[in-house]
Amino acid sequence: MSQDRLHVLLIPALQAAFQQLFDHVATPEAFTFQATRPEFEGDVTINVFPFLKISGKGPEPTAQAIGVHLQANVEVVERFNVVKGFLNLKIADGYWIDFLQNTGDQDLLQLPSTGKEVMVEYASPNTNKPLHLGHMRNIFLGHSVSRILEATGNKVVRVQVINDRGIHICKSMLAWQKYGKDETPESNGLKGDKLVGKYYVEFDKAMKQEVQDLIASGTPKEEAEKQAPILLEAQEMLRKWEGNDPDVRALWERMNGWVYAGFNATYERMGVAFDRVYHESETYVLGKNDVLEGLKKGVFYEKDGAVWVDNTKEGLDEKVLLRSDGTSVYMTQDIGTAIKRFEEFPGLSRLIYTVGNEQDYHFKVLFLILKKLGFPWANELHHLSYGMVDLPTGKMKSREGTVVDADDLMEEVVQAARTSGEQLSKLDEFSEEEKAQLFEMIGMAAVKYYLLKVDAKKRMLFDPAASIDLQGHTGPFIQYTYARIKSLLRRTEDLVKNASSQVPSTVLSEELEVIKLLHHFPAVLSGSAMALDPSSLANHTYELVKAYNGFYQSVPVLKEEDPIKRDFRIGLSRAVALATKKAMWCLGIEVPERM
């Protein structure tokens, strides 16, 4: 957990305690903190077990001695209790009140610049099919991480690699040639990426039939799968593409153009964009010279005409990098692409790849190879690995046309938000255009938040119906709370202009809970950036708005007769709205001013 301002305040006091009590010089890094468990009194807990050798005492006497010292010497430590080897500190209400009154918006919402430039790669689709549910998790994860990094003071470069070459692309092209009858996106009204994906499925159907025919005629299954005529034609088309055949290249450019138009429409609805787009048709030639240079330096070795790397000392396998015929493998072009990026962006300090966990091993090997080649930035490469997404209906297979299309899923959730919203009948003052914008905002929040609230490393189940629940752990619930606060603030604009600068002498437990969650916001944001983990920020934001809803339901704001308490609660509401909007921006989610 990242240190927040309270931890920063406590660390010097703890260092002084160790010096005085145990004659020991402790470094700031020696101390870690955690939130006190709800069944015990306290706000912050210190585990003293790591310090028993220093104190020469048992866990409880050690914790007791530290607690007494802190209570006597740190004004904000009101009292403490010891549970075995855990020291629980109760922080005075005045500390939390002072935090809320004296923390500016920038202190709460924007961390200082790091001066670092970070590249985040995400999306990286193939041009033989439209974007699907798996891409959605990838894209929203990468986009959110890029925004979290920006919010924590980094300059971010967003990139994608479009996989626009290879046998899969030729399969769609060949099927269109055979069965398309000159069908175009314009002639049938289908998005270009969906049209091309349709023929990828058609290829698979045709090939399966040919394989069955060959098996029926006595060809072994394994041989039939290699000798299907349509597959041989696709392989020939790939050879022509690599030989720059003008007709094949023209068809390739035409169909890829359809796909790019489709992708861009989907990206626009998702609210994502890229600073630099790489195409595999350009990058697949990279890396050969770098591998040959590594061979000269003795980093790699030659066997049977091929170039290999031996990673067995590091617990990995041997890996071929250049085949005996001089052609490269995916690893080769990834080596070359990484090098090219650091050449193109000389200020780059870190490169993050957002790719599914089935590629975990690939990136271990890639990063190790780049270290062996001597690139100092190789230690700053990171694989942002994530698990698969399932639907209640089961797994997806793109060849069989059972993939959950991203456009269709977004539309389904937006329409579900419309149905739910219209049933609530609270939109009489909205024009039809405003309603459409609101339902789009709610639907996209539902999808994004549901995919981001789960730790990326975990495989997850996406439930479209549950994602739009206004009372659940959802994006729309957070949006609804934000809109509720904005409504309150609009009604109190005149009061805010003449707000009292005084603060109440005491605050209620409901208020304290909200203030504490606001207090932790910068540390949670910083921690999310360090861990490249939007889920921690998403869940903290939910806890914040849930606590605010509890406060709003039980504590009068507008009906409060004491102007000092009323103005304080209005200020608290405003701070929650600011933090919520910032957090949702970091997650790539818009929040409505009214709902």
CB neighbour list of residue 406: distance below 8 Å, 6 or more residues apart? 130, 131, 132, 133, 135, 136, 266, 270
Q: Could you tell me which residues come within 8 angstroms of residue 3 by beta carbon, excluding any fewer than 6 positions away? A: 11, 33, 523
In CATH, what class is 5-91?
Answer: alpha beta
At which residue do the structure tokens 């969906």 appear? 194
User: Which pLDDT value is given to residue 497?
Assistant: 66
For residues 497-530, one letter each, b for 16 or more C-beta atoms within 10 angstroms of the residue's C-beta and e for the rest, the string is: eeeeeebbeebeebbbbbbbbbbbbbbbbbbbbe
For residues 305-317, give the mean pLDDT. Answer: 97
Give the angle 363-365-367 at the CA atoms, nearest 5°. 65
Task: Break the chain into its structural domains and give their ranges.
Answer: 5-91, 166-271, 406-586
101 pLDDT above the threshold of 90: no
- Residue 401's pLDDT band (cuts 50, 70, 90): very low
Rg of the chain in Å (alpha carbons): 29
Contact present, 521 and 108 (Cβ < 8 Å): yes
- Residue 17 is predicted with a pLDDT of 97
What pLDDT, on a 0 to 100 scale, did the predictor assign at position 485? 96
* 335-364 residue pLDDT tens: 999 999 999 999 999 999 999 999 999 999
Q: Which DSSP state fits 421?
A: H
Per-residue confidence at 1, pLDDT binned at 50, 70, 90? very low
Rounded Cα distance between 122 and 107, Å, is 30
479-521: pLDDT as tens digits: 999 999 999 999 988 776 666 678 888 899 999 999 999 999 9
Q: Report pTM.
A: 0.92
d(CA 348, CA 377): 9
Tell me the pLDDT band of 246, cut-offs 50, 70 and 90: very high
Per-residue pLDDT, 470: 84
Residue 183, classed as helix, strand or coil, is coil
pLDDT at 390: 86
Query: What is the SS3 assignment for 461?
Result: strand
Residue 549 has pLDDT above 80, yes or no: yes
Query: Please, what CATH class does the domain formed by 406-586 belong to?
Result: mainly alpha
* H helix runs in 57-166, sequence order: 59-73, 93-102, 105-109, 133-151
CA angle 526, 138, 436 (to 5 degrees): 95
- CA atoms lying within 13 Å on the CB side of residue 508: 16
pLDDT for the residue 504: 87
CA distance 579 to 537: 11
Least Cα distance to 123 among 274, 17, 20 occurs for 274
Helix 133-151 and helix 534-554, axial crossing angle in degrees, nearest 10:
80
Q: Which of 103-107, 210-214, 307-311, 557-561 has the lowest mean pLDDT?
A: 103-107
Higher pLDDT, 397 or 445: 445
What distance separates the 2 farthest-apart alpha carbons in the chain? Answer: 91
Task: Give the DSSP letter string of 173-189.
Answer: HHHHHHH-TT--HHHH-
Given this model, what pLDDT does residue 391 score? 80
Quick one: pLDDT at residue 400? 46
Distance, in Å, from the CA atom of 478 to the CA atom of 316, rounded to the nearest integer, reads 45
pLDDT of residue 574: 94
Residue 5: HSE in the Cβ half-sphere, 13 Å Cα cutoff: 18
Residues 6+ apart with CB under 8 A from 517: 540, 543, 544, 547
> What pLDDT sits at residue 233?
97
| Residues 397 and 124: beta-carbon distance below 8 Å | no
**Predicted confidence (pLDDT) per residue in 29-47, tens digit:** 999 999 999 999 999 999 9
**Euclidean distance between CA atoms 282 and 302, whole angstroms:** 26
- Give the C-alpha separation, 96 to 116, whole Å: 33
**Over 70: is that where the pLDDT of 232 sits?**
yes
Going by pLDDT thresholds of 50, 70 and 90, the confidence category of residue 3 is: low
User: What's the half-sphere exposure (Cβ side, CA atoms, 13 Å) at 421?
Assistant: 27
What's 163's DSSP letter? Answer: B
Percent of the chain topping pLDDT 70: 95
The least confident of 157-171, 461-475, 569-583 is: 461-475
pLDDT, residue 499, reads 64
Per-residue pLDDT at 107: 66
Look at residue 184 and tell me whether its pLDDT is greater than 50.
yes
